[in-house]
Structure 1
Amino acid sequence: MKKLMSLVAVMLFTVGVFAQKVLVSDPAHSRIQFSVIHLTINDITGNFDKANLTINTDNKNFANSKIMFEVDPASINTHVEARDNHLKSADFFDVATYPKMVFTSTSIKRLKKNYYEANGNLLMHGVTKPVKVTLIYRGSTVNQMNKKTTYGYQVYASLKRSDFEIGGKFPEAVISNMVRIKGDFELTEQ
């Protein structure tokens, strides 16, 4: 009986392992962008050139998957070098002290076909807060260059910079407190 139970346990574990897939982002085709309102009249946009998304997918039920993305704030790029250097300073991201931002999902809920709400914790600027992101599955295709299946995902979120103690010297009349985030990722199986 013990041998039968052990065999069943191994089979269940094996089935569970094969139902999981680890997808990792392709850095050349993945990016996180942000937008803030400057002087209450104009959107200023930028992106982080180094951002990784990993999804531990549950093939049977995506809501059981785990999402993690990591951003290097020193890779900030607004196409204005002086502004980028200021954003890297202690006035904003303080990249010397806080070299990464990390989001880890705690739950995923299906909203409608290919749209999901992921709740999780975001560590940014030394502060961890719960945030909610929208995740959109854009489909998959076989990349003709490497013959691997490539998956497309988008991530949307809004957050308050004040929640993470970023740019506290700059009032909303100069830089909006609300920051809009959009991430575009191509992923392949690890």
Structure 2
Amino acid sequence: MKRLLVTPLVALLALPFAQAQTQTWNVDKSHAKVGFTVTHLMLSEVDGNFKTFDAKITSGKPDLSDAVFEMTADVNSIDTDNDRRDTHLKSPDFFDAAKNPTVTFKSTSFKKVEAKKYKAMGNLTMHGITKPVTLDVVMNGPVTQEGRNGKQDKVGFKVNGQIKRSDFSLGTIPVTVVSDEVELKANAEFIKQDGATAEKK
């Protein structure tokens, strides 16, 4: 009987310690960009990005080797340096921003390939459709820097991947006009949050 009681008790006592190890890193939006590239008429590349987005990382290990990434981008903030094209992209012909106002991604695994290179696998949701994707990630850091607010832990990520817009029913324009392949690109710094281990207190 004692043994049956001890195991749940140990697990319960260990829970606050496990929670205390969880780290949260928030994106530094002044040093971050989330965008994409498509090919036009099989001749030139057109770049776009989302002006409004948010992202965070949670990790139980200091080296972020078990990182979980979450990102949300506002479709209405899409910017390709052409107002007419941006309006078309927000329309029902493409993203249908009125019905599907966000693009989201949440990782399901993060595995080291070599040195600073990783593979992030997760679920990408666009246009109301969710598909699994694999992204190539380069991690720089983490490092500790002295700033105006004292010491801060920071880490940088460069992310690349490729999807097909047809998988997300994004537009019926022929691939000879706009490529089916879309390159996803993100570059961001993240800052470790002091309050992330508030469970300790």
Task: Return the TM-score normalized by structure 2.
Answer: 0.85
Counterpart pick for 1:122 among 124, 129, 138: 124
Please provide the CA RMSD for this pair.
Answer: 2.0
| 1:131-142 equivalences in 2 (<5 Å) | 131-139=133-141, 140-142=143-145
Return the offset for 1:61: 6.8
5+ residue gaps, structure 2, are 194-201
Return the offset for 1:65: 2.7
- d(CA) in 2 for partners of 1:141 and 1:130? 34
Structure 2 residue 49 is the aligned partner of structure 1 residue 47: yes
Which has the larger Rg?
A: 2
Contact 1:47 1:76 in 2 (8 A): yes
SS at match of 1:162: helix
How many residues align? The count is 189
Contact 1:27 1:50 in 2 (8 A): no
Which residue of structure 2 lines up, in the alignment, with residue 171 of structure 1? 174
Structure 2 residue 159 is the aligned partner of structure 1 residue 155: yes
Identity of aligned residues (%): 34
- Structure-2 change in CA distance of 1:144 and 1:61 (3 Å): closer
Task: Return the TM-score normalized by structure 1.
Answer: 0.89
- d(CA) in 2 for partners of 1:143 and 1:53? 23
SS at match of 1:92: coil
- d(CA) in 2 for partners of 1:165 and 1:132? 19
CA offsets 1:65-102 (integer angstroms, 9 cap, x no match): 32111111111111111111111111111111101011
- d(CA) in 1 for partners of 2:107 and 2:31? 22
